[in-house]
Structure 1
């Protein structure tokens, strides 16, 4: 019981921390940063927001599996829905349905995340699967509101749209293409997934461990991102 409470506290704290960090850096970059006068700081903010945007999606992903606060689906839905809204206006209901289909049919024609084309065509199909009119109007409307409030400070657009786009590429490469692409090396089992087995620091920086431990995630989908290394080192979730 104590271990369950401790794990739940860590999960909620990390999820809220990622969301708050993204909001804080976003507000600073959009409302207070002089990108033209501080180009180096602008680049640092862009890199930070891209990584935190990846984190937003991973928080939502953990919420889909009930891993943020086990046994509390409404709490997971609220946290996950907020993370997706901040990421790119994504629909919680749409993504959870498609992600569960991915787990049931990973690496097959029934997998909404899978494509038999090359990486560019696969990425385009990946984006088209999840980015629709809802996302267009949410992001477009937000940009218009920002423009009306902030005026001709064009760089503010970059600190939401660009990190989201870069994060989608990062998520695709390390969380979808590398783990699920067909290759000469056979997949270990029916999950049609492989782990990239990079160093844990790179695994965290690239995709919050969902690249380095992707096969382990398919074996233990209810394990949150921060505990994925233990599924290999300890032999169990």
Structure 2
């Protein structure tokens, strides 16, 4: 019996690894391709729908990049491979906004330990209802002078070393990056942790009531947030299964 359970567990870990790595590779390479094209080759004189489409696509892929880095903090991107998780997470966090993966990981685990109460760095204890005051607190907590310096360095390198157009750098890089932070916060933190009714348990988290396709588009299934707090070592692409299992029980 124990051998059978161990075999099933090993199969699950293998399946996670087999899907996690290619999905992560797909998201990261897609973001890099769209980002490079948007900043260096897209003409802002093109039809507006093309520019808006590239901004929206890059914003969504930025969100996916962050969710993958989030999974590396839990070790769920590459189970039993801590170095892979650390290296990939460090790279993505630095590219995303000059963040320190170790600092972000410590803050995220503090969020899990104190979800929705004092000691939670992602929670606005003074204003747990309104979006913008909460977002401003959230943004200023994580984004400081170091991040500004890193992004300024990237900007100068893009323009003066690689020859990017200044306006393209702002419109096709800064805009989708900022929008992705709002997207992540709104669907993954604000809606799931705001004080709007009772919570199911001490995790102080709820799940957005979206169909699976919309959950993917909004926040790479991070809106299945109660499931994430119940099963923090599940990767993002497994959270819909956990929601189904919870509802079935």
User: Would you say same fold, with TM above 0.5?
Assistant: yes
Residues in 2 aligned to 1:152 and 1:26: alpha-carbon distance in whole angstroms: 13
Q: Deviations over 1:53-104 (max 9, x none)?
A: 0001100101100001111111001111122122212110110010000000
CA RMSD across the alignment: 1.5
Residues in 2 aligned to 1:84 and 1:59: alpha-carbon distance in whole angstroms: 10
Q: What residue is the counterpart of 2:208 in the other structure?
A: 196
Residues in 1 aligned to 2:213 and 2:169: alpha-carbon distance in whole angstroms: 30
Q: What residue is the counterpart of 2:230 in the other structure?
A: 219
Q: Determine whether 1:35 maps to 2:44.
A: yes
Give matches, 1:20-99, under 5 Å.
20-99=29-108
Q: Deviations over 1:166-190 (max 9, x none)?
A: 011011111001110112x211100
Q: What residue is the counterpart of 1:209 in the other structure?
A: 221
SS of residue paired to 1:229: helix
- CA apart distance, 1:156: 2.5
TM-score (norm 2): 0.90
What is the number of residues matched between the two proteins?
234
Residues in 2 aligned to 1:176 and 1:27: alpha-carbon distance in whole angstroms: 29
Contact 2:38 2:168 (C-alpha < 8 Å) held by counterparts? no
Give matches, 1:148-167, under 5 Å.
148=160, 149-150=162-163, 152-167=165-180
Q: Deviations over 1:129-177 (max 9, x none)?
A: 1111221011111111122142654123222211111011011111001
The higher radius of gyration belongs to: 2
Residues in 1 aligned to 2:217 and 2:15: alpha-carbon distance in whole angstroms: 24
Q: Deviations over 1:182-214 (max 9, x none)?
A: 12x211100000111211111111111111x10
Q: Determine whether 1:177 maps to 2:216.
A: no
Unaligned runs of 5+ in 1: none
